[in-house]
Structure 1
């Protein structure tokens, strides 16, 4: 096995930059494969590279910035001949995750997402606030370069902002979870996990492709996943349902049939957003409660052991007295 730590530091940084850029590019191409057209404007309901960029920064620090910028440039180049506006778009897609990372660090964010404050910070600082930068700079550069009609400004900006935010809400927690994931010991919960996975995989497509709007039926499955498995159950379920909803919306069938382009985008973004918020915040609340309960139980156990030790010491002193 090759020991990377023995490599020269510039080589390690170069390899890391290329790796981040390659993964960013792959995530970008994946996001572009699920485009929607709304009133003539092309939008991506979920933009995975933003979630990937924020996760890399949280896990490995600022040394990932060059890889993020290079990956954003590769995605733009893959779309055609880049223009002057590409500089602003690359800058926005790089600065926004960095600002997200800095704001989360400033409030003491924990990558374990074990507290409600961590979930709230990721939603309102890491996603909703920081992604105003990427959407604002991107749309602004398109308008300045006459690549976007002023009449489409509001719609494109909203779709860009929500797509970037959804990438942070759904992709970042999943990557943070996978980074610290460990195979749990065999237990009865394995059977429940497998059963829940099969049920979600079977029912969610039926709900999405139903000609009757039954999107609300996804939420009981999501809540069950969160209640039993917290983040490990909620985020994959939410991401699976969001991706499938995007596919159905592109096909203009099921719950998204007989809708205009604007109505399709608004319904899809609202659905995806509520899924991500529910999974992230509810799992954070439950995890925090479980950790508090374990702390109380541990403190009670230590108190019992201390009392037992004191009683044992008292009995020995009484037995040894004349």
Structure 2
């Protein structure tokens, strides 16, 4: 059967939809980039952000729109670079390519392993962590740090510290921002607030504990983890990732200010401590919520299977009951039964 050729109106509509999608992705990437540049760290003469939200936006856009989102990502990378400096060097093309290729590779690897954006299985959380974040972001970090060395922006011996900061910043964007955007895309109105008192209690507790943990002079960052466990147990991914995102933002502000748990440290030590905290927190939030959600789904499946089995047995029992014997039949047992 021959394929039906699209009409000129349909082709025009498709072009307009693609153009609008590209501009929307580019705008979201640029906005996330401007937010990420609010807080910066300087390591070995290179400026980078502890969390680079645009990578999370890029991966989420690819998961939602597919590969057709990559032109918007490339345009967004270029827009962020132009917002920093108007004197773009030829090496900037390499940065655009590397920053676009990394989320595209993340998407391709996630699709290859059957990743589900719902993050309802442990394998989905592991795939996002190890493939989408840690593995794919090696591309952007290597391209970015390598181009800085090739263009004499940093010394060769500074490659590895800068590479590490770039890699972890991009990976944190995927680990923290991508799940948050996935959650936003799944919100349906009206919201069911059956457990709003507990959610409010969790929010108030986090608003008190997180600043104390980050700004306290006793380095009490570990106090955040009970909150993550509470959020994951009671609210699964929605609670744990929102708690992780808020804690990460507060910790990043404290680190860039050199306050609280991050005071009296060198720039490299601040980077290592902050990224270790953000990374372990994101891993805890993603994997714990995925395990809990998977267990709950398994329990519901078993309960449904048991209920269906009970209904089948009741139906078979009703079908095998003797016919013609009323409720007042007291003639005794049938000797032939």
Measured against the shorter chain, the TM-score band is: over 0.9
**1:47 matched to which residue of 2?**
52
Q: Once superposed, what is the RMSD of the aligned Cα atoms? A: 1.6
Aligned length: 316
The superposition leaves residues 153-199 of structure 1 with CA deviations (integer Å, 9 ceiling, x where unpaired) of 11100000000000010011111111112354342x22101111111
Question: Does the CA contact (< 8 Å) of 2:228 and 2:285 recur in 1?
Answer: yes
**What is the aligned counterpart of 1:185 among 182, 189, 192?**
192
Question: Does the CA contact (< 8 Å) of 1:84 and 1:145 recur in 2?
Answer: no
The answer to whether residue 134 in structure 2 is matched with residue 128 in structure 1 is yes
Question: Does the CA contact (< 8 Å) of 1:109 and 1:121 recur in 2?
Answer: yes
**1:307 matched to which residue of 2?**
313
TM-score when normalising by structure 1 = 0.95
**SS of 1:174 mapped into structure 2:** helix
**2:124 matched to which residue of 1?**
118
**1:282 matched to which residue of 2?**
288
**2:89 matched to which residue of 1?**
83
- Structure with larger Rg: 2
Deviation at residue 317 of structure 1 after TM alignment: 4.0
**SS of 1:185 mapped into structure 2:** coil
Which structure 1 segments of 5+ residues have no match? Answer: none
**What is the aligned counterpart of 2:38 among 33, 39, 42?**
33
**SS of 1:258 mapped into structure 2:** coil
Deviation at residue 59 of structure 1 after TM alignment: 1.1
Which of the pair is proportionally richer in helix?
A: 1
Deviation at residue 315 of structure 1 after TM alignment: 2.1
| In 2: Cα distance, 1:174 partner to 1:318 partner | 64
| In 2: Cα distance, 1:287 partner to 1:60 partner | 25
TM-score when normalising by structure 2 = 0.91
Question: Does the CA contact (< 8 Å) of 2:129 and 2:175 recur in 1?
Answer: yes
**What is the aligned counterpart of 1:219 among 216, 219, 225?**
225
**SS of 1:255 mapped into structure 2:** helix
Superposed counterparts of 1:168-179, under 5 Å: 168-179=174-185
**SS of 2:240 mapped into structure 1:** helix
The answer to whether residue 82 in structure 2 is matched with residue 73 in structure 1 is no
| In 2: Cα distance, 1:114 partner to 1:225 partner | 16
**2:256 matched to which residue of 1?**
250
| In 1: Cα distance, 2:324 partner to 2:51 partner | 72
CA distance 1:7–1:316, shift in 2 (3 Å): farther
Question: Does the CA contact (< 8 Å) of 2:44 and 2:162 recur in 1?
Answer: no
| In 2: Cα distance, 1:58 partner to 1:13 partner | 16
| In 1: Cα distance, 2:90 partner to 2:322 partner | 85
| In 2: Cα distance, 1:178 partner to 1:271 partner | 25
| In 2: Cα distance, 1:103 partner to 1:220 partner | 32
Deviation at residue 251 of structure 1 after TM alignment: 1.0
**2:299 matched to which residue of 1?**
293
**What is the aligned counterpart of 1:24 among 20, 29, 33?**
29
| In 1: Cα distance, 2:35 partner to 2:25 partner | 15
Deviation at residue 254 of structure 1 after TM alignment: 0.5
